[in-house]
Structure 1
């Protein structure tokens, strides 16, 4: 039996999603709680690998067990009690044997949050960035970004991929509050470090440190050394993972 998990986490204390030899990961922590509660070894596969310090408002993973499990509100509650406060499971539900948390996903939506003023209650959750920014020019850069499909210039050099093509659905900056600036981006897939490097490069554009023509050219050149430095991990959130119709058909939180 294969089950999907819908969860969220604050990534501050973790060395990313994936199991690491040198630090605590979200995946390892989740597997430990499920193994303990279900009294059998449980290994999970996530929809993607968020970096150290990156957060997820919505993440999906799947695991398999030999026998069906009757999921109740009490069972889900007990697993959440075993997890630390910065990881929360919203639902666990059965899926088809062919449904895969990573390979069945058709889109990922990220946000990057920048606060213009220091906030004691958002430490580790936003990037405090004070220099003046031309948000309109940054949105012009987004329109240029949407004209491209190869994003090698924004990928970490050690990325183990066969190609650097991504299909972007949207990319734009939004001032949701006087002191909060949010970058929205959605695509079918993302490269390792891609969103943070795009944000870091656009912050240079917003400070007039790079022209729009230079931005367009660096994408065409497919050279990571021409892009800006990656923005800090603490402002990045995985917001939504999309799947084809039917994959999430049985997603109902116990008690709803």
Structure 2
């Protein structure tokens, strides 16, 4: 038996999220079907990040087990001929059977994009949140930087989310980048709670609009209460940029 790792990119617009579920088509279900057709047996992938409906990815990770002897780096090409245009595998490689994409130390990177202009741009409607109001960029940047380090992010966990063993996460970097009318909230951490990045983005936007006081992010963190934070930003502005596995990367590089 072999374990193959896939790096998967997708436009989440037409899917009910990543994870297989009974109420609609998902990215994982579509990938499973293509893999089962390719391998000639039922394949069930294990995904690293269960992105929500409408959320996009450039580098989600999934693994599957197979007896098929195709070279590992060829799976991506064979799969892409069977996948729809809005889901494509970016890379494939063989990994040890003990490698698990969720129960392994990770570094995850997300971006939330905001188009800040007076009129919407229809070409960006599927992957960028349109905001017409003036925004205080300095206050937003201060709020973004405030979450760097290890904190209890209970205030930024979706209400009713399944209980986590710990709501403490470490954020390695967090910033707002401005390129013309496009603002990008980019955050890198060792893990994220359910809806955490979208709630952070929504809170930073409220600070930028002046609906929450400038400098209030630290108080919101310390409250450890979802009611203290801002709204959950819409899903379509969020993209999972990539997932790294530092403990394994040296081993993979040597092969």
**Residues 175-186 of structure 1: pairs in structure 2 closer than 5 A:** 175-176=178-179, 178-186=180-188
Query: Can you list the C-alpha shifts for 1:113-147, whole angstroms capped at 9, x where unaligned?
Result: 11124222222111111110011111111232225
Q: Note if contact 2:139-2:215 (Cα within 8 Å) is conserved in structure 1.
A: no
SS at match of 1:82: coil
Report the Cα offset of residue 241 of structure 1: 0.4
Q: CA RMSD in A?
A: 2.0
What is residue 52 of structure 1 aligned with on the other side?
A: 53
In structure 1, stretches of 5+ residues that fail to align are none
In 1: Cα distance, 2:40 partner to 2:149 partner? 51
User: Which of 117, 128, 131 pairs up with 1:129?
Assistant: 131
Higher fraction of strand: 2
Between the aligned partners of 2:67 and 2:129, the Cα distance in structure 1 is: 44
- Structure-1 separation of matches of 2:215 and 2:181: 29
Aligned to 2:80: 80
- Residue 173 of structure 1 is matched in structure 2 by 176
Gapped regions of structure 2 (runs ≥ 5)? none
- Which of 215, 233, 236 matches 2:235? 233
Q: SS of 1:115's equivalent?
A: strand
Using CA pairs under 8 Å that are at least 6 residues apart, name the structure with larger relative contact order, 1 or 2. 1
Match of 1:14 in 2: 15
Using the size of structure 2 for normalisation, the TM-score is 0.92
> TM-score scaled to structure 1, two decimals?
0.91
Cα pair distance change 1:76/1:206, threshold 3 Å: closer
Q: 1:200 aligns with which of 199, 202, 208?
A: 202
